A = this chain, B = another copy of it.
Amino acid sequence: MTLFATRFASDGGTRLDGAVEMIHGSGGRATTELVRTLFHRHFDNAYLAQGNDQAAFDMEAARVVMTTDAHVVSPLFFPGGDIGSLAVHGTINDVAMAGARPLYLSAAFILEEGFPLRDLERIVASTARASRDAGVPVITGDTKVVEKGKGDGVFITTTGVGIVPAGVNISGDRAKPGDAILVSGTVGDHGVAVLSKRENLTFETGIVSDSAALHGLVAEMVAAVPALHCLRDPTRGGLAATLNEIAQQSGAGMRLVESAIPVKAGVLAACELLGLDPLYIANEGKLVAICEKADAGRRLDVMRRHPLGHDAALIGEVVADPHAFISMKTRFGGSRMVDWLAGDPLPRIC
């Protein structure tokens, strides 16, 4: 059963000065009232108004992409966003990274008993706002409740579908030796912003999360120079994990130039303080693009004209290497490997 979409006539409603109770997950009147008072009101759209356990829409023949992400970020609210906006941006971005136009989202909420309804409303409102701003509606959803101590406030799983424009063929296995590696802006902002809010780390960096929906930027990149090889958003695991994934898929190595990778001074300072490497820190509004070297200049121009790409930079190149290793020329002129992350300095970053 899906309970975002229930229409009903009761004049009641859920008082928002309370907290989530187990009864809100019953599937009965309390569930439908919560859904109406919170979800239906904020997400209101014609698809939800169909009032069924699934949303229906007409679609033309197309190459379709589908992606899903569970969001468990802690804390739920952080500088520059919250779990709701993050969930919308994260899933839109995974659709966009196929060069696709995101069409629709679903959102499933797992609520912990005792979570304040006012905080839930902030999250639902933020989810709805992010979805509206991006032009990608949440058309179906679900709410479940677990006992206190069996969850952590709110978890949100979003799923997105979108359409790949004709002629676009972007995949992580298409990086070729000689290709240019571009990044759309500074790395590490999201991770450091979340970290700065964690209860036992009270330093203030002034850094806000870069959480943003990148489909507009991608649409301009694809329209200007369709022949993109790879696109990926360096979230959990950071730039290092993303480049290693693409290297493995493509069976090619990469050579990066550390001084070319944009990092904000505050992010760098926080990382030095905490012994972290910004290359391993999550981003939520950045992308890595890999394309023919000949296209790189034009593509960078397009990216830099977009508000979400004005710090775009060429950070390295794809090289022939059967081991698919990633090496980096350091600021000090040496060279080091950029391996997968072995530990996890930042659990629950998204």
Chain A residues 20-41 with CB under 8 Å of chain B are 22-23, 25-32
Q: Which residue of the partner chain, among B9, B72, B100, B172, contacts A146 with CB atoms under 8 Å?
A: B72
Q: Is the CB of A344 within 8 A of B106?
A: no
Count contacts on A: residues with CB < 8 A to the other chain. Answer: 97
Q: Is the CB of A104 within 8 A of B22?
A: no
Complex Cα spacing A20 to B112, Å: 21
Number of copies: 2
Q: Enumerate chain B residues within 8 angstroms of A29, measured Cβ to Cβ.
A: 340-342
Q: Which residue of the partner chain, among B61, B74, B97, contacts A61 with CB atoms under 8 Å?
A: B61
The answer, yes or no, to whether A18 is at the interface (CB within 8 Å) is no
Complex Cα spacing A324 to B51, Å: 16
Supposing A62-B59, A142-B69, A344-B26 touch, asked if A249 and B94 sit within 8 A by C-beta, the answer is no
Name the distance in Å between A108's Cβ and chain B's nearest Cβ.
Answer: 4
Stretch in A114-122, A126-134, A151-159 with 4+ CB within 8 Å of B: A151-159
The answer, yes or no, to whether A52 is at the interface (CB within 8 Å) is yes
Supposing A25-B348, A28-B237, A340-B28 touch, asked if A157 and B68 sit within 8 A by C-beta, the answer is yes
Name the distance in Å between A173's Cβ and chain B's nearest Cβ.
Answer: 6
Q: Enumerate chain B residues within 8 angstroms of A201, measured Cβ to Cβ.
A: none
Residues of A within 8 A of B (CB): 1-3, 6-9, 22-23, 25-32, 50-72, 74, 90, 94-95, 97-98, 100, 104, 106-110, 139-147, 149-152, 155, 157, 159-161, 164, 171-173, 232-233, 235-238, 241-242, 245, 248-249, 280, 282, 324, 340-344, 347-348, 350
The 7 closest A-B pairs by CB, nearest first: A27-B237, A27-B236, A28-B341, A26-B344, A54-B67, A157-B157, A159-B159
Can you spell out 16 A-B residue pairs with CB atoms less than 8 angstroms apart?
Answer: A2-B94, A3-B236, A23-B343, A27-B236, A29-B340, A52-B171, A54-B66, A54-B160, A55-B67, A56-B63, A56-B164, A66-B159, A68-B106, A68-B157, A70-B109, A145-B348
